[in-house]
């Protein structure tokens, strides 16, 4: 009788010796689920949409780059045009200077330059331009201030210490120093919002206030103290950061907006002032107006002349005039046409049209040979 173990052995050996063996059931390979045509179409459409969006993005970038190139070309063209214009102005200024030199060489005893065209020292009777101070006065006042600093070291140390303490607050952003409400040099918002420019401004103002406080407490007489404050204001104002390109955010903005053309114009104006205005900044374009054409258009004639003045009588425009004439005596710093600027801005024209006889004095433009003239000279010339 076969046991279960014998049947098991028989089955295994039979399978090994060619007998019938149990074969495992074969499974059918699984089939993939067919994809629908709609899904494939959606994928193709999404792919095309992405490609189209990428193409549009590249086109936008190319258009932006082209616009930037065109803008740069416009800026370069503007700079080239400005340079050409400034070259023409410089050439005209050089030609005018050459003509002045030729006239001076041809007529050494006669100066055809106006007071505005002469160097500052000559135009102001030997005084410094715009101030009325001579170089000796400036030197004497500066010397007295330095003497006070040498004689009063504790006072110098006091204000130096105060200056350094305030500078510490400036560097840490805790300073409350601000420019005056009427100071138009620092109105740009960058002076308030930019940490660098704010610190630069507060450093300048702290230095200015420290020097002023020292002069207030120095052992100077009343007049010497007033002169010292005046001279100090000249030095301090000249050292203001707004007088430099990098220290003037408004000038930096203008240079960027114009592509550098504003800087070129400024340098050209400086060269013109050095050549034609004694180094002083011109307040107006001296070539824009010409007496008899744009200024002083009321008809008249010179009826008297001496070494100091000319007397001009304006032509009447009415059949009858008043017997008593009207004489204008302008200040020495003004021109005779101060009352006759233009046809629409002329007191002379108005008075003549109302029957008055109008005369005015035209002062001679002084030269270095007239440096000894004083108010007595002008008084005697009139009387």
Domain parsing of the chain, residue ranges: 132-243, 300-382
pLDDT the model gives residue 281:
79
pLDDT (tens digit, 9 = 90+) per residue, 92-124? Answer: 766 766 665 565 554 444 333 433 343 433 333
pLDDT (tens digit, 9 = 90+) per residue, 232-272? Answer: 988 899 899 999 989 999 999 999 999 888 989 888 888 88
pLDDT band, residue 292 (cuts 50/70/90): confident
pLDDT band, residue 11 (cuts 50/70/90): very low
- Residue 358: exposed, middle, or buried by beta-carbon count in 10 A (0-12, 13-18, 19+)? buried
pLDDT the model gives residue 358:
94
Give the phi and the psi of residue 264 in degrees, each rounded to 5. Answer: -65, -45
Distance of alpha carbon 104 from its chain centroid, rounded?
Answer: 36
Q: CA nearest 307: which of 364, 348, 375? A: 364
pLDDT (tens digit, 9 = 90+) per residue, 126-145? Answer: 344 445 556 677 788 888 88
Q: Which of 3-17, 266-280, 345-359 has the highest mean pLDDT?
A: 345-359
Q: Say whether pLDDT at 306 is over 60.
A: yes
pLDDT band, residue 176 (cuts 50/70/90): very high
Inter-residue contact 114 to 365 (CB < 8 Å)? yes
Inter-residue contact 116 to 286 (CB < 8 Å)? yes
Mean pLDDT of the chain: 78
Q: What is the spatial distance between Cα 134 and Cα 124, in angstroms, rounded to a whole number?
A: 10
pLDDT the model gives residue 132:
54
């Amino acid at each position: 009788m076969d046991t279960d173990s014998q049947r098991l052995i028989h089955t295994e050996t039979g399978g090994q010796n060619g007998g019938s063996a149990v074969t495992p059931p074969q499974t059918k390979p699984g089939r993939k689920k067919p994809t629908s045509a709609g899904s494939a179409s959606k994928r193709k459409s999404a792919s095309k949409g992405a490609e189209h969006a990428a193409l549009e993005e590249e086109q936008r970038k190319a258009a932006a780059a082209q616009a930037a190139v065109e803008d740069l070309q416009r800026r370069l063209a503007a700079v080239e045009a400005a340079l050409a214009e400034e070259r023409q102005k410089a050439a005209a200024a050089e030609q005018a200077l050459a003509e002045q030199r030729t006239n001076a060489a041809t007529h050494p005893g006669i100066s055809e330059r106006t007071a505005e065209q002469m160097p500052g020292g000559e135009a102001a009777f030997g005084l410094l331009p715009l101030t009325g101070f001579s170089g000796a006065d400036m030197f004497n006042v500066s010397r007295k201030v330095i003497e006070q600093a040498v004689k009063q070291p504790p006072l110098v140390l006091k204000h130096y210490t105060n200056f350094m303490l305030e500078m510490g607050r400036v560097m840490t952003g805790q300073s409350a120093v601000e420019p005056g409400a009427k100071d138009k040099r620092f109105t740009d918002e960058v002076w308030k919002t930019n940490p660098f420019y704010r610190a630069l401004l507060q450093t300048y103002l702290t230095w200015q206030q420290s020097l002023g406080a020292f002069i207030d407490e120095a052992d100077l007489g009343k007049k010497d103290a007033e002169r010292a404050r005046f001279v100090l204001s000249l030095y301090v104002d000249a050292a203001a950061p707004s007088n430099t390109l990098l220290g003037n955010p408004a000038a930096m903005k203008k240079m960027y907006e114009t592509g550098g053309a504003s800087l070129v114009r400024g340098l050209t104006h400086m060269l013109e002032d050095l050549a034609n205005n004694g180094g002083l900044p011109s307040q107006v374009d001296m070539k824009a107006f010409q007496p008899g054409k744009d200024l002083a258009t009321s008809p008249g004639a010179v009826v008297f002349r001496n070494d100091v003045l000319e007397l001009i009588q304006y032509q009447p425009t009415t059949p009858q005039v008043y017997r008593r004439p009207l004489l204008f005596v302008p200040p020495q710093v003004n021109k005779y046409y101060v009352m006759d600027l233009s046809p629409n801005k002329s007191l002379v024209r108005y008075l003549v049209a109302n029957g008055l006889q109008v005369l005015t004095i035209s002062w001679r433009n002084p030269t270095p040979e007239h440096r000894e003239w004083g108010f007595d000279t002008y008084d005697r010339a009139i009387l």
